Chain A
């Protein structure tokens, strides 16, 4: 049984879900625009923003910190853009330079702060402190839920996250059309009259604020995971942006809830203390991605394998039927040996033979076509010879070069109703 305590677990989980959803939503556009690592860069360089804001004001007011971090986030985007443009540096390297320098600055500043007896814990920035978001004023009964006192007792970080999440949903919903065009074709977006550059920065501002809001509760590592993983997973599940977004939200919620429960439940099953929830959520998002890579119905490995298998089976069967038809045609009905083409594997040949017999296309003695088999084989050979005809007449290939190409094209589905009577080699088209 999973241990779940409303007071202890509800809000950490809610925080994780809100953070995951806002990052997951924005991640869709980052992944499409190949900016996934911008989230990484921003969440690294938020550190100096926090420290500078704190050192400047000496206040731990949330708004000061928020402003400092958001400013650092936007500054990162601008700096990366500057380095890229002014220095003509490759985007990846530009990002690496900017965020590592800013991060180093942050670490150094933290150490400086420590000189003044202020211990800023840099680890916390990485892992977050989900577990500390306990709801001490948890109501005993449901009628207490809506009282003001209950609300006040809620951890403030969760409320910040909820607001951020709502704002992000609003942003994506209102600017969906624009974001979609800009994600796929920034040039088109600009020519349609809205500023792709502005959209880029608006998106980055939202990424920065989602990062900052999530930071305190869930840590930067979860932010990075959530900006990339759900969107990447969703991208493997669907080809439409709308459903990709829906999927990414579903996946974000799943990894948030699942990862949080796993962090407490799995170690508890072995009688150990619970592990870091943020890390576990990131792991869960990774696990979902692996699952999608393997088992996605449209792009998964399994599907692709099955599709490939069935295609190669169909082609083997086609080749077998056509070969039999050609043998009959050449020998004028007299029985003669069927030659296995050298490029065909004997096992797949046998398998195709068994398949054909089962479907009643080839007689049980495996030596001649049945009537249905002959009709099907004739259709195939017809397609082959029509293609040859087309390649010679229309494409202008020499007649002795077209067989291989036709051999590939004959497996395509459509079959024209009328055409010439003979192929370039003078054989009759069935």
Chain B
């Protein structure tokens, strides 16, 4: 009787093969896959596929606005809040002698309580000191609880039983009729159309609502319209993907698209494509394979796109930012190394000192890890700043020039901080370390001039002539 009282062992007959040996899915042939993919698998399947694709497109596009408005999870509350509406619409319609399972009636009920849920969130935010997360959690759980109560009431007491109402929780494309799918596709298409018409207004409200207000736009109305579109998409998606997962169709495509672009129109396009693609794949897969609920496949498809985006996206992706950080660290380590080497040579008044001891000391002080040290040295050697002679490492001519430049930057900054920023001489070295890699060329020139003008001591003139900052198109200038 453990947890999965859930687990009722013998699954008698309603679906699936009855033979014990036949436990795998039937894989469809290539011809069948091709037919389904190219929409030649019959009118019924096609309607479902097209409808789900449209739904994905609509959800992806509208989800962008929700993401920009930071309302992603409000849609979760909304979709949970549709459940009591479904149950009550069923009860109401049955009581009035209508067909309780007629889809438009159920969807209307869902929309009503969904909107009510959103209004409750707004009311809680306005009337109490509770934060948004709490408000969302409250509405989500209480409304869903109400839905569970209503459903269990129907199950136990209504004559017709609630069979079929449960499908709205997890979604079931298989049970969709052509009419249902057409209704879903129609709602989605309408939502897309409205979004396109109000694109400018929505973007304005999303990016700067205060400005939009001042500019005379009815931001509250626009907000309500966006919410209404979300309600439409949610309600349309109830039957296909279920109310627990419809939120994913709204969130995931836009979050994934956000990795790839900083421009709104592109964001809308990418999110729409991701949404449509996952809708399409989800419905195709669930049409081809038994026991692959479309909702899950859709969400997992877009989830896969999300993971790919998270890792591979060009500037915001994990790989990109890791490599950026590594490059930065390597550059800084290289700077430290050549600087230390240059200063050592200056101190000893001798060129071509062997540097291995110096490098070991530096690695210890800077805390370079075992793998990082050869990497940094390798990079320096590859750039020709460091030379591996017979007995050890040595600075090359270009390395010396670079070391001189870094050392000079260091000195300049120290001087600047002491003179202008009123930092005690004993405290400057630490902060200099942080900034000497961020100096830009013009800044160096300006600093140099102003210090000279005021007669403040600058680093040795010899350095300036030979290794002028201007000559080396600023490899040390770098990341600002």
Q: A36-B137, A93-B255 are in contact. Are A117 and B11 (CB under 8 A)?
A: yes
* Chain A, 35-74, CB within 8 A of any chain B CB: 35-37, 39-40, 44, 50, 54, 60-62, 65
Shortest CB-to-CB span from A33 to chain B, Å, is 9
Give the residue of A40, A278, A280 whose beta carbon is less than 8 angstroms from that of B137.
A40
Best-surrounded residue of A86, A104, A227 (most CB of chain B within 10 A):
A104
Interchain CB contact under 8 A, A90 and B153:
no
Question: A111 touching B292 by the CB < 8 A rule?
Answer: yes
Within 8 Å by CB of B157, from A65, A97, A236, A273, lies: A273
Contact: B145 with A87, CB < 8 Å?
no
| A120 near B7: Cβ-Cβ < 8 Å | yes
- In the complex formed, the residue of B with least CB distance to A212 is B3
Find chain A residues with CB under 8 A from B144 CB.
221, 224, 279, 282
- Complex Cα distance A108/B171, Å? 12
Q: Is A299's CB under 8 angstroms from B129's CB?
A: yes
Q: Are A127 and B152 in contact, CB atoms less than 8 angstroms apart?
A: yes
Task: Tell yes or no: B9 within 8 A of A by CB.
Answer: yes
Given that A37-B136, A93-B255, A286-B145 are contacting pairs, would A107 and B295 also be in contact in the complex, using a CB cutoff of 8 Å?
A: yes
Residues of B within 8 A of A132 (CB): 5
Q: Which of B134-153 contact A (CB under 8 A)?
A: 134, 136-138, 140-142, 144-153
Taken residue by residue from 1 to 27, chain B's Cβ proximity to chain A (1 for < 8 Å, 0 otherwise) reads as: 111111111110001100010011100
Q: Which residues of B contact A227 (CB under 8 A)?
A: 137
Q: A276 interface residue, CB < 8 Å from B?
A: yes
Interface size counted on chain A using CB atoms at 8 A: 85
The answer to whether A115 touches B310, judged by C-beta atoms less than 8 angstroms apart, is: no
A272 CB contacts on chain B under 8 angstroms: 153, 156-157
CB <8 Å contact, A93 and B251? yes
Contact B130 A108 (CB under 8 A): no
Most B CB contacts (10 A, CB to CB) among A35, A40, A231 go to A40
Q: Quick check: B141 and A100 within 8 Å, CB to CB?
A: no
**Interface: B65 (CB within 8 A):** no
Q: A108-B297, A114-B11, A235-B130 are in contact. Are A36 and B3 (CB under 8 A)?
A: no
For A97, give its contact among B128, B130, B166, B303 (CB under 8 Å). B303
Docked Cα-Cα span, A54 to B6, in Å, equals 11
B140 and A40 contacting across the interface, CB-CB below 8 Å: yes
| Residue contact A108 to B292, C-beta cutoff 8 Å | yes
- A111→B152 contact, CB < 8 A: no
Q: Is the CB of B128 within 8 A of A299?
A: yes
A residues less than 8 Å from B6 (CB atoms)? 50, 120-121, 124-125, 216
Q: With A and B bound together, what is the CA distance between A348 and B75 in angstroms? A: 45
**Separation in Å of the B13 CB from the closest CB of chain A?**
10
Within 8 A of B (CB), among A92-141: 92-97, 100-101, 103-105, 107-108, 111-112, 114-127, 129, 132
Contacts of A216 in B (CB 8 A): 2-3, 5-6
Quick check: is B107 within 8 A (CB to CB) of the other chain?
A: no
For B76, what are the chain A residues with a Cβ–Cβ distance below 8 Å?
Answer: 40, 96
Q: Considering the chains assembled together, what is the distance between the CA atoms of A92 and B5 in angstroms? A: 33
Task: Point out which of B146, B152, B166 has the most chain A C-beta atoms below 10 A from its C-beta.
Answer: B152
B5 touches A280 (CB 8 A): no
User: Which A residues are in CB contact (< 8 Å) with B150?
Assistant: 275
* Interchain CB contact under 8 A, B169 and A123: yes
Q: Give A306 to B219 CA distance when docked, in angstroms.
A: 32
Q: Is the CB of A301 within 8 A of B145?
A: no
Complex Cα spacing A281 to B255, Å: 35
Stretch of B227-235, B240-248, B373-381 contacting A (4+ beta carbons < 8 Å): B240-248
Whether B252 is near chain A, meaning CB under 8 Å from some CB there, is yes
Residues of A within 8 A of B127 (CB): 293, 301
Task: Closest B residue to A61 by CB, please name it.
Answer: B2
Closest B residue to A127 by beta carbon equals B148
Give which listed residue, B137, B170, B259, contacts A87 with CB less than 8 A: B259
Of the candidates A120, A156, A215, A275, the one having the most CB atoms from chain B within 10 angstroms of its own CB is: A275
CB distance from B31 to the nearest CB of A (A): 24
Q: A221-B141, A235-B130, A293-B128 are in contact. Are A65 and B4 (CB under 8 A)?
A: yes
Interface residue? A144 (CB, 8 A) = no
Given the known inter-chain contacts A96-B251, A104-B248, please indicate yes or no for A121 contacting B8, CB distance below 8 A.
yes
Cβ B130 vs Cβ A101 within 8 A: no
* Given the contacts A40-B76, A115-B24, A278-B145, A224 and B316 also touching, CB distance less than 8 Å: no
B258 touches A (CB below 8 Å):
yes
Q: Give residues 121-169 of A contacting B (CB, 8 Å).
A: 121-127, 129, 132, 156
Report whether A101 and B299 are in contact in the complex, using a CB–CB cutoff of 8 Å. yes
Q: How far is the CA of A278 from the CA of B142 in the complex (A)?
A: 11
* A288 CB to nearest chain B CB (Å): 10
Residue A196 CB within 8 A of the other chain: no
Residue B411 lies at the interface, judged by CB distance under 8 Å to chain A: no
Contact status of A111 and B300, CB under 8 A, knowing A90-B70, A124-B4, A275-B149: no
Contact in complex: B291, A104 (CB < 8 Å): no
B residues neighboring A (CB under 8 Å): 1-11, 15-16, 20, 23-25, 67, 70-73, 76, 124, 127-134, 136-138, 140-142, 144-153, 156-157, 166, 169-170, 244-245, 247-248, 251-252, 254-255, 258-259, 290-293, 295-300, 303, 306, 310, 316, 318, 321
List 8 extra interface pairs beyond A62-B3, A119-B7, A216-B3, CB under 8 A. Answer: A93-B67, A97-B303, A104-B300, A111-B291, A114-B11, A275-B149, A276-B149, A282-B145
Q: Which 4 A-B pairs have the closest CB atoms?
A: A282-B145, A286-B142, A279-B148, A100-B248
